[in-house]
Structure 1
Amino acid sequence: MSETSQNSRILAIETSCDETSAAVVEDGRTILSNIIASQVDLHAQFGGVFPEVASRRHIEVIHAVVQQALEEAHMGLDNMDCIAVTRGPGLVGSLLVGVNMAKGLALARNKPFLGINHIEGHIYSLWLTEHVDEIEFPILTLVVSGGHTELYLMTDHGQYQHLGGTLDDAAGEAFDKVGRLLGLPFPGGPAIDKLAPSGSATAYKFPRAVMDDGYNFSFSGLKTAVSRQIKHFDKARLPVEDLAASFQTAVVDVLVAKTARAAEAYGVTAVHLSGGVSANKELRETMQTQLPLPVRYPPPILCTDNAAMIGAAAHWHFVNGRRDTLNIDVIPSLQLI
């Protein structure tokens, strides 16, 4: 999929999990608006995302979020060239809310419609940053979030080779589960990231799983090891800082080792980090220190789920002539390739 000279102005919608987001993106690079209604406080009481609650909340706020995105961009639906939405992967109920909203808008205004892969959206979040003019293929991209830990070789726009992924828990999922074990607030990733610098990363020797010649990941054993270590302490005397630091370093070591090995094997020009866990300070710093090539990542607002990244990905499909019919359905386990 090569770049063309055609311009685009896209209204994008993202409702794959627990953020209701709408954005207006121009030419796949410029964010005219990016509204995100988070449900973090709503799900904190459950210690994780409750799917039925998430979908109901999407229904309640999606009209207002879309309207706000258009107003902030100082435009209306008639100014849009295309309506794009996350089709999958994600929670089926949440996805349906966004897809049905996008279909309705596309039908009402007779606009082209595109269903976009959520993971591809994360990858294209880098095209919304100041690094965009420096990007040259091939690129190694690590998508690391609450639901995904995947390594892709990207040789051109829309051209991906899946090198490996998680065999069980995603890295972000492991952060949330360990955060819950440590009594930290949901989501666990930001809480552990904030707490870890106060602890010792060498206090506990947690396992680094699947450290072989492949590019797959595994974090369930690490979570279990932390759980077993916690049982050695009274709850009131739990060394939370040391446990958080040792756990986080174990995750980062595996992510960096696999990424560095793949980057060398495939001769890439740069490594791109995306997804919620790409906001982790230790991951960013370690990756930059240990890899002898540019390591890029989006600002925090574009790390978590947002509609701007869906608009950025949609641009490259739109300008190369792709159009989806309104009878497509959501695919909760949608694969990128």
Structure 2
Amino acid sequence: MAKILGIDTSNYTTSVAVVKDGEILYDARKLLNVEQGQRGLRQSDALFQHVKNLPDLLNSPFTKGIDAVCVSTRPRPVEGSYMPVFKAGESIASSIAYTSGVPIYKTSHQEGHLEGACRSINFSYKEFIAVHMSGGTTEILKVSKDNDYSVEIIGGTKDISIGQFIDRIGVAMGLSFPAGKDIDELAIKPCDTNLRIPSKVDGFYFNFSGQETLGLKYIEEGYNKEEIAKAVMICISKTLEKVFNNLLKTNELPILLVGGVASSIFLKCYFKEKYKDIIFFSDNKYASDNAAGCAFIGLEKYKR
């Protein structure tokens, strides 16, 4: 009955989780503070906030008596992948492992997303396509899992991510960062509008910087927030739909949507009946940044 501590320190969330066998005993997260009007944080500021947040999140009876620690130490499972923010989690995880006399396992933020998403909906496919959509990442991945994840980028954005597109438009409209939830809520409101932002797709790749420019132009022209939010989410939906259609021409693998954008109510409604039993969304709670995926990866490594 192994008890594993997971830690993830991403660009905008400090996360700690504890799992015991197949159950999540503890799941604590704290969003990093971004000042109103800003579109993100410098790595140094984010790292400082993680260092402040981690002691509070780790101060729980559930984090005592652990058998191992698993921590995300880099964004992606490839050589050279690096961001300073992950040093906060790696440092404290190493200290906990040393003082507790337990093993430490290292993984990537992306693998944590994949594991958390798979566990959240009992998604047991060993080979699949993952669409990782978050504040700084939009990648189409061919994934296989034996003991560990093997991840190959086969598509994605050529410029800004879906999350950046949403956040930049949202902040320009006066919304708080990150703006995903507010944009989503505005987009699902009844709104009779023909305002559109065209989508551009080339195979499994696409762009959003030109779409951002058009969205900012609509703001300057005085269109209301509901119209612009709906135009943004329709643009994203149409882009993904074209990519999905292209994917299904060349393979029959299921498609799993992970990352914070995968919690969008608008996207789920848009795709609800279009690709039944082909496209799967992570459970909302584990679409966004979390440490449960890291903890489950640690559990699997511990059992080997």
- Name the TM-score, length of structure 2 as normaliser: 0.88
Identify the residue that residue 61 of structure 1 maps to in structure 2. Answer: 53
Deviations along 1:178-236, one digit per CA (max 9) or x if unpaired, are 10122222221111100112354852231212x22x21232111101111233333xxx
SS at 1:141 equivalent: strand
Pair 1:262 & 2:253 matched: no
Deviations along 1:53-100, one digit per CA (max 9) or x if unpaired, are 3222211221121122xx1x3x62xx3232111111298442111110
Identify the residue that residue 221 of structure 1 maps to in structure 2. Answer: 210
Identify the residue that residue 157 of structure 2 maps to in structure 1. Answer: 166
- Aligned mate of 2:28, from 25, 35, 41: 35
SS at 2:188 equivalent: helix
Do the aligned residues in 2 keep the contact of 1:15 with 1:94 (CA within 8 Å)? Answer: yes
Pair 1:83 & 2:72 matched: no
Pair 1:297 & 2:281 matched: yes
| Within-5 A mapping of 1:136-175 | 136-157=125-146, 158-175=149-166
Do the aligned residues in 1 keep the contact of 2:74 with 2:107 (CA within 8 Å)? Answer: yes
SS at 1:259 equivalent: helix
SS at 2:4 equivalent: strand
Bigger drift between 198-207 and 151-160 goes to 198-207
SS at 1:247 equivalent: helix
SS at 1:17 equivalent: coil
SS at 1:187 equivalent: coil
Identify the residue that residue 176 of structure 1 maps to in structure 2. Answer: 167
Amino acid of the residue matched to residue 81 of structure 1?
D
- Aligned mate of 1:109, from 100, 114, 118: 100
- Give the Cα separation in 1 of the matches to 2:112 and 2:245: 23
Identify the residue that residue 239 of structure 1 maps to in structure 2. Answer: 224
- Name the TM-score, length of structure 1 as normaliser: 0.80
Do the aligned residues in 1 keep the contact of 2:50 with 2:88 (CA within 8 Å)? Answer: yes
Unaligned runs of 5+ in 2: 76-80
- Give the Cα separation in 2 of the matches to 1:151 and 1:316: 25
- Give the Cα separation in 2 of the matches to 1:201 and 1:311: 45
Identify the residue that residue 249 of structure 1 maps to in structure 2. Answer: 234
Identify the residue that residue 272 of structure 2 maps to in structure 1. Answer: 288
- Give the Cα separation in 2 of the matches to 1:319 and 1:165: 34
Do the aligned residues in 2 keep the contact of 1:153 with 1:160 (CA within 8 Å)? Answer: yes
Deviation at 1:284, TM superposition (A): 1.6
Amino acid of the residue matched to residue 19 of structure 2?
V
- Give the Cα separation in 1 of the matches to 2:287 and 2:230: 22
- Give the Cα separation in 2 of the matches to 1:260 and 1:153: 16
Pair 1:119 & 2:110 matched: yes
Closer, same or farther in 2 for the Cα pair 1:8/1:217, shift >3 Å?
Answer: farther
SS at 2:221 equivalent: coil
Deviation at 1:251, TM superposition (A): 0.9
Deviation at 1:119, TM superposition (A): 0.9
Do the aligned residues in 1 keep the contact of 2:188 with 2:266 (CA within 8 Å)? Answer: no
Unaligned runs of 5+ in 1: 1-6, 321-337
Deviations along 1:87-123, one digit per CA (max 9) or x if unpaired, are 1129844211111000111111222212211111111
- Give the Cα separation in 1 of the matches to 2:67 and 2:246: 41
Do the aligned residues in 2 keep the contact of 1:140 with 1:263 (CA within 8 Å)? Answer: no
Do the aligned residues in 2 keep the contact of 1:124 with 1:309 (CA within 8 Å)? Answer: yes
Do the aligned residues in 1 keep the contact of 2:16 with 2:290 (CA within 8 Å)? Answer: yes
Closer, same or farther in 2 for the Cα pair 1:201/1:305, shift >3 Å?
Answer: farther
- Give the Cα separation in 2 of the matches to 1:138 and 1:264: 17
Structure number having the greater strand percentage: 2
Amino acid of the residue matched to residue 60 of structure 1?
K
